[in-house]
Structure 1
Amino acid sequence: MRRHLDAVSPGWVEALPLGPLQEGMYYQSVVDAAADAYHVQHRFTFASDQQVSGDAVQAAAQILVQRHPNLRAGFTNLAGGQPVQFVPRQATVPYREVEYGEEFHRLAAEVAAAEYAAPFDLADPPLLRVAVVRGPDGRSELIVTHHHLLADGWSHGLLFAELFALYERARDGVELEALDHVLPQPADFRQYLRWAASADRAAAESAWRNYLSDLASPTLLAGERTPDSQVKESRISESPVVVSADTTAQLRRLASDCGTTLSTVVATAWALTLRTLTGSDDVVFGATVSGRPADVEGADRMIGLLLNTLPIRVKGKPGERLTDLLRRVFQEQGALTPHQHLASDTFSDQQVIQRCSTPCMFSGTCHAMRKVGCQLSRQAVSQPPRQLMPRITPSPLTSTLVTATDHCT
């Protein structure tokens, strides 16, 4: 390993295992290196009376990756094919400034699109870049683009809180050498990686195997495909549906009365929808979990990719009341909580997350929900097979059906 990493990144200081979702995400990124499915971008517009300091932005971004070693990590395969992430001693965050006159918003959007589309070399960190677009009258926009391997949705609030706190200190004249000390010591994502690597994999596999043991087939909403068929085109579309404030309140009351969570209610509703669409009383779909175990100190404050995508199975029982079904789904998922660290590719043998087999169009489903503070939102998580998933944003709920379909030949 040392010889390989010396060749890839001379001066590397640490090698780390990949987290559960990082493994699958890294594999897909390598297989389809030209795609940008795992690029994440945030844009911040500054008013004309708040000129952006390019020097302060660069300093803040640089200290950010210095404070969090995993944000300057690169990824590579060892000789035996095992993926590993390595941390270089230093990594300079790419930065560029662009100045425009008229049509500022259109041109800023073009810069953002170019930043988003530009590929990341996973073995040449950091997988994060920053751009500032300046317009007339002092208007400006900060564009931050990174690879999803570095951070999940939970982390974004933490990441940008730090970035802007560092920016303000740098703008106020704090020297680069002292900038790292203006914020408290951050939680260390590497502790989570070590915990995940040392967790009882055999017990987790046994728990999930029992949960999925008699599952007959994956739940698909379109035809199957043959093993030798090829993806001709992938397409993603969204259909937003706003849920009224009254309905949102009723859903929350239902969850409370049943002693479950709003996430359980939404997942069960999706399961019943799949049951109606497929005619099957035994459906399975993916769901994202935060992946932040309570027994890892500071997990809720870590910046990194901790979330995971796991199967939810809902098997109907004749005559079962909805309230009883909600409680059962909640209890079944609760029993699996200690085993949420398992990588999603483990489930391919159980026919849950896999590509299936007939000609033409096929699709699987995935439901994703994350909680940030008191807000509920949903994010699409790409995972084979391509997904159909609802997305929910803060109350009143906005449900968006995200459809990702592969057209095969």
Structure 2
Amino acid sequence: MQFSELMAVLSTLAIRLQRDGEDLLVQGDDEALDDALWDSLIQHKAQLLQQVSEQGGHWLSPAFRITPDMLPLVSLEQPAIDRIVAGVPGGAANVQDIYPLAPLQEGMLYHYLSAPQGDPYVLQAHFAFADRQRLQAFAEALQWVIERHDILRTAIVWESLDEPLQVVLRQAPLQCEALPLDAAGGDALAQLQQRYDSRHFRLDLRQAPLLRLVHAEDPVNSRQVALLLFHHMALDHAALDVVRQEIQACLLGQREQLPLPVPFRNHLAQARLGQSEERHAAFFREMLGDIDEPTLPFGLGDVQGATGRIEEHRLPLDRQLSQRLRSQARQLGVSVASLMHLALGRVLGQLSGREAVVFGTVLLGRMEVGEGGERALGMFINTLPLRVDVGAQSVRAGVLATHARLSALLAHEHASLALAQRCSAVSAPTPLFSAMLNYRHSHRADGDQVQELVPGIQVLGAQERTNYPLTVNIDDLGEDLQITALVDASLGAERISGYLLTTLESLALALQANPEAPLYSLEMLPASERRYLLQGLNTPLGQYPDSPLIHQQVEAQARVQPEAPALLFQAQRLSYGELNRRANQVAHRLLALGVRADQRVAICVERGLEMIIGLLGILKAGGAYVPIDPAYPRERIAYTLEDSAPVALLVQADTQALVADLRVPLIDLDSRTLAHESPDNPDVPGLTPANLAYVIYTSGSTGLPKGVMVEHRNVARLFSATRDWFDFNWRDVWALFHSFAFDFSVWEIWGALIHGGQLLVVPQVVSRSPQACYALLCEARVSILNQTPSAFRSLIAAQDQSGLKHSLRQVIFGGEALEPGMLKPWYARLENVGTQLVNMYGITETTVHVTYRPLQAADAQWVGSSPIGRRIPDLQLYVLDARREPLPTGVVGELYV
């Protein structure tokens, strides 16, 4: 058979010829390849090799069709193969292989399909060229590298398929694009970076190669600048280094010195032959089975890179610290990577408030690639969860345990992240973790400096991106170590780098001096930040008077404006002069009973004028009032009386039966006999601001109610320290809305009376009706209203149903957490524009209020937390962990006052 006749026969058969060195590889239908045809193929081998070489190393007959048996790594039926091939430029002749995605590629595709725009896995490498000729030479060298490596000629397909696949093309031309830039737009490279920012730019994964070269003139620097855009699907950090080296070899005429490329399909084949899913699952169940909460530093849980700007900070470790860490790792028989993972675990434990920490660690995935694996291109790395326990175990034990877990994890480096998460008690879609560590061996630290690839071509560095809000890369440079933090800009990358550096310094010191110290003792906060949290944030902002005593301030108002209205209850009114005289009569009766300074006097009365008269009278006698709400259950009333042990008790006819068992003197505030007592201010010598003013009992939500003893000076300083914020004055009308056994009433009652304002005592029945309450507030022209958020929600609804206009100047929230979104209807009404809403947080033990936060309409968009604002200036606030150590700003902890 002549050669021309052989080619004619081959053209009618589904045959593929490929050159492999001096060998000719023949692929096709076994039935068509009979003995006679084989003899002809052998006879014309030399001509066939030449023909195939002229076709780029392979020849495909027009009748060739890719069939399922030709794709050993994937199970596909013929119609699916035909659909895939139909979408490939050049058809079957341009398809080299089809196989599944690696585990991390699957995760990247998920993020790609989920994100509405952008793609955090589009990365950049930056280059500069002396002229267009060098740029052209670089592009040609890159195209040659693309032709060498299957992964660089790969496209991703998923539509109408049971599983996503990668299709390796034989020819995939590199797209090069020249961009005109605005001469007034600033730095040329910066303009390119902005235009191709991965927050809004993405590569089409269905088009090979997953690389693009974009370039522009840089007239300011007399050069060309370019971005090599590439997808993490195709290249990991190690593979990018190989691409640079092969481009360099090509430009230097050293192509023949490069080893044969290692196909990415080898990695896929080995990965599929590795550990079974059952073994993977057993390993991760043992490690993660009891993890029922995610590790989310600062509460950040977006792991798709959809929100927030990522900030980068590089921090080289000083050589002495690097050497100490290496020496200690050798002594313990562990890797430096183990120390880094433990240190980051300690940091994340502090930032998330957990002792069993989980974060992602990057595994190289090259162990099973075989010979030359270190030079293979592709997405070999995989991110898998690592658990690090950072509680009470010793530092030494923590290092060894972390090393053991890392070593065991290597056997499962090809498991999928989805499988690992399913083995925890954290249910999808909640992420198991939102932080990641990548420990990598590097020849140099990317981005440190400009490097010359060949004369006239410079590598300007590479831009790193991450879909996690907190990523730490550790570059092991052989002798030195470098931290690169890629962190949500709202947190600050330099800040996170500092935390890890401080922890590493503390870890090195502990391993040297005290390896049995508990892990939680490792310092994370830099000394400067610790000082700032403990001292800088709590610098005294001035001196605030803690005197005179409460009743003395009311007496001063009675002297200055005796006829001014002080109390209003239903149709009853009392002036300051009348209030002072009647309170004096109660005080003289108590003094006659032998009441002395700091002794407790209980008062159990209904809402009304007598309640305020009784409270003020107790203070004037030098006693401390213990308010008992008649509406409380009998058991609570009995407990309060027994625990507080009052020396006397103020009652009314209607409440006397509630306290009948108490064996102490009773004073009936309804009794006319009080009128026989002196109306003059009593003289009680020796009283000071340090004397007790009241004892109010907590709700008992965490156990039995606790009596909180508060001195006069605490009340005095509360109002003096907040005076500039509120400007309370004699024109204000306050509403006493709350029970006098609730400490919010301290603010309501004495806020009105020591400033010379008027106090409206809201009847009990009115306080329970939002409509009646709103009408009363409008009628009485109340200007200062104190509310729990839940009560104010009802008032907002009542306003909507009422045609009345209020006179509110300030509405002050307290008593429970505020959900700002509930205020949207309030801010939507024009008649509320003149009212300042204020959120204040406080606890009974610290005298009503601790913080101050004036609210604005924009705050109604606040979601997920309650803004409590800044401290009252004479107080100190600390956010501490379970061991009473300060926590960084933004971390959840216990608030200490």
- Please indicate the TM-score interval, normalised by the length of the shorter structure: 0.7 to 0.9
Task: Select the structure with the greater relative contact order (CA < 8 A; seq sep ≥ 6).
Answer: 1
**1:9-408 paired onto structure 2 within 5 Å:** 9=88, 10-11=91-92, 12-32=95-115, 34-46=117-129, 48=130, 52-77=133-158, 79-97=160-178, 106-115=187-196, 117=198, 118-136=201-219, 139-169=223-253, 183-202=258-277, 203-223=279-299, 233-238=307-312, 240-294=314-368, 296-316=370-390, 318=392, 320-349=393-422, 350-351=424-425, 355-356=429-430, 364-373=434-443, 382=466, 386-393=468-475, 394=477, 396-404=480-488
Taking a change above 3 Å as real, the CA distance of residues 233 and 22 of structure 1, as seen in their structure-2 partners, is closer
Kept in 2, the 8 Å contact 1:39–1:145? The answer is yes
Choose between structure 1 and 2: higher strand proportion: 1
Counterpart Cα distance in 2 of 1:332 and 1:130: 41
The AA in structure 2 aligned to 1:119 is R
Tell me the residue number matched to 2:83: 4
Partner of 1:176: none
**1:53 aligns to what SS in structure 2?**
helix
- Find the residue that maps to 2:120 and give its secondary structure: coil
Amino acid at match of 1:198: L
Alpha-carbon distance between aligned partners in 2 of 1:278 and 1:300, rounded to the nearest angstrom: 36
Q: Deviations along 1:79-134, whole A, 9 cap, x unmatched? A: 34411000122111001345789789712332344345543111121111113434
CA separation in 2, counterparts of 1:375 and 1:232?
28
CA distance in 1, matches of 2:205, 2:246: 24
Alpha-carbon distance between aligned partners in 1 of 2:116 and 2:237, rounded to the nearest angstrom: 22
- TM-aligned CA deviation for residue 338 of structure 1: 1.3
SS of residue matched to 2:411: helix
Distance 1:300 1:86, change over 3 A: same
Displacement, 1:381? 6.9
Q: 1: CA distance between counterparts of 2:354 and 2:363?
A: 25
Identity of aligned residues (%): 25
Distance in 1 (CA, whole Å) between partners of 2:284 and 2:386 is 10
1:405 Cα shift?
Answer: 8.5
Return the TM-score normalized by structure 2: 0.40
Q: CA deviation at 1:242?
A: 4.7
* Structure 1 gap ranges (5+): 170-178
Is the partner of 1:24 in helix, strand or coil? helix
**Residue pair 1:275, 1:283 contacting (<8 A) in 2 also:** yes
Q: How many residue pairs were aligned? A: 388
Task: Name the SS of the counterpart of 2:84 in structure 1.
Answer: helix
The one-character-per-residue Cα deviations of 1:51-85 (angstroms, maximum 9, x if unpaired) are 64344233212221111111111101153441100
Q: 1:134 to 1:220 in 2, by over 3 A?
A: closer
Checking the alignment, whether the CA contact within 8 Å between 1:67 and 1:180 is kept in structure 2 is no
Could you report, residue by residue, the CA deviation over 1:357-407 in whole angstroms, capped at 9, with x for unpaired residues?
A: 9xxxx9722222211248799997745xx4323333456544344334899
1: CA distance, partners of 2:470 / 2:369? 33
Asked if the contact 2:138–2:251 (Cα under 8 Å) also holds between the matched residues in 1, the reply is yes
Q: Which runs of 5 or more residues in structure 2 are unaligned?
A: 1-79, 448-461, 491-861, 865-897
Secondary structure of the 2:118 match is coil
Q: Deviations over 1:7-60 (max 9, x none)?
A: 3223323101111211101111122262131111111223x4x76434423321
Distance in structure 1 (CA, Å) of the matches to 2:484 and 2:440:
14
180 and 90 in structure 1: CA distance in 2 versus 1, 3 angstrom threshold: farther
Structure 1, 145-154 or 99-108: larger mean CA deviation: 99-108
CA drift of 1:284 comes to: 1.0
Deviation at 1:299, TM superposition (A): 1.7
Please, what TM-score do these two structures have when normalized by structure 1? Answer: 0.82
